Amino acid sequence: MWFKNLQVYRLPAPWNKTPEEIEQALATQRFAPASSNEMLRQGWDSPRGNEQLVHVVHKQMLIMLGTEKKLLPTSVINQVAKAKAKDLEEQQGFPPGKKAMKELKERVADELLPRAFSIRSNVFTWIDPVNGWLVVDAASPAKADDVVKHLLKAVDRMPLESLRVQRSPVTVMTAWLEHDESPAGFTIDMDTELRATGESRAAVRYVKHTLEPEDIRRHIKSGKQCTRLAMTWNDRISFVLTEALAVKSVKALDVMKENESSAVDDNEKFDNDFMLMTGELSKMLADLVEALGGEARV
């Protein structure tokens, strides 16, 4: 298994919390299906479907936050409420007022909720207690923040912090492009976004397009800065670095897939993939932090 998007946080390295202690803490918020009158239910579930909330491979841990959300579109509520309002108007001789209409919509929502469809989603989190990484596989910071909120609520006094670096990713990525020079161990790929900082918010985006140095420098000279940059680490992993220090569109390249060992069954293959992923990503993240000037300490 490979994470597609990395929202990165920091733990002390090494972190001495054991998988058993984390399992016990997460069990207080174990996932249970939403009842008929609940719109949303969240909780920790087994990442491997075996009742264990913490999956461990060579000290690396995998946990999963499960979410069940009912689909009840506002348009449906409004449609049913409108029909009921019309019946009510015929009965009482005048249309319901603003307050009465609000209460009617609330009653309609309560009536429709037990029949609403449920959507289940899962967000995986990798905990590396050896090197001090905590990584949420989420495309948006909001979704990662939701996971972190539940984690901090479950695990008492968890010393978790956002990853901070010495130099702004925007400044560093812009300098790499301006000087047509990538940091040691990395290459710059053919996708980037340059955005103006002024009121115009003008932007130019390259997708699978050669980044001609002169064209890039012209955009930078006009006031644009790099907010997204596609890169490859050691010919092994490609990704997109964002201005918010998120790592997106992570892909293991063929050179890594060739090194994958043959597994006897699905469980063994999963563990092999997870071990390979965590080993490579921990090194890549360390090199990326170094390329951004190292970690910023408070």
For residue range 98-147, list pLDDT tens digits in order.
888 888 888 888 888 878 788 999 999 999 999 999 999 999 999 999 99
Q: Which residue has the higher pLDDT, 87 or 244?
A: 244
> Measured between alpha carbons, how far is residue 107 from residues 81, 111, 153 in Å?
9, 6, 33
Cβ–Cβ under 8 Å, residues 176 and 229: yes
Q: Quick one: pLDDT at residue 262? A: 63
Q: Quick one: pLDDT at residue 108? A: 82
Q: Quick one: pLDDT at residue 257? A: 66
Amino acid code (one letter) for 112: L
Average pLDDT over residues 198-210: 87
Q: Quick one: pLDDT at residue 270? A: 93
Q: Quick one: pLDDT at residue 294? A: 97
* C-alpha span between 37 and 193 (Å, rounded): 45
Q: Quick one: pLDDT at residue 198? A: 74
Cβ–Cβ under 8 Å, residues 123 and 64: yes
- Check whether 210 has a pLDDT greater than 60: yes
Average pLDDT taken over every residue of the chain: 92
Cβ–Cβ under 8 Å, residues 277 and 260: no
Cβ–Cβ under 8 Å, residues 152 and 144: no
Q: Quick one: pLDDT at residue 106? A: 84
- Check whether 255 has a pLDDT greater than 70: no
Per cent of the chain over pLDDT 70 is 96
Cβ–Cβ under 8 Å, residues 231 and 182: yes
pTM given for the model: 0.87
Q: How many CB atoms lie within 10 A of CB 26?
A: 22
Give the residue extent of every domain in the chain: 7-71+118-162, 74-114, 169-291
* C-alpha span between 253 and 203 (Å, rounded): 30
- CATH number, span 7-71+118-162: 3.30.530
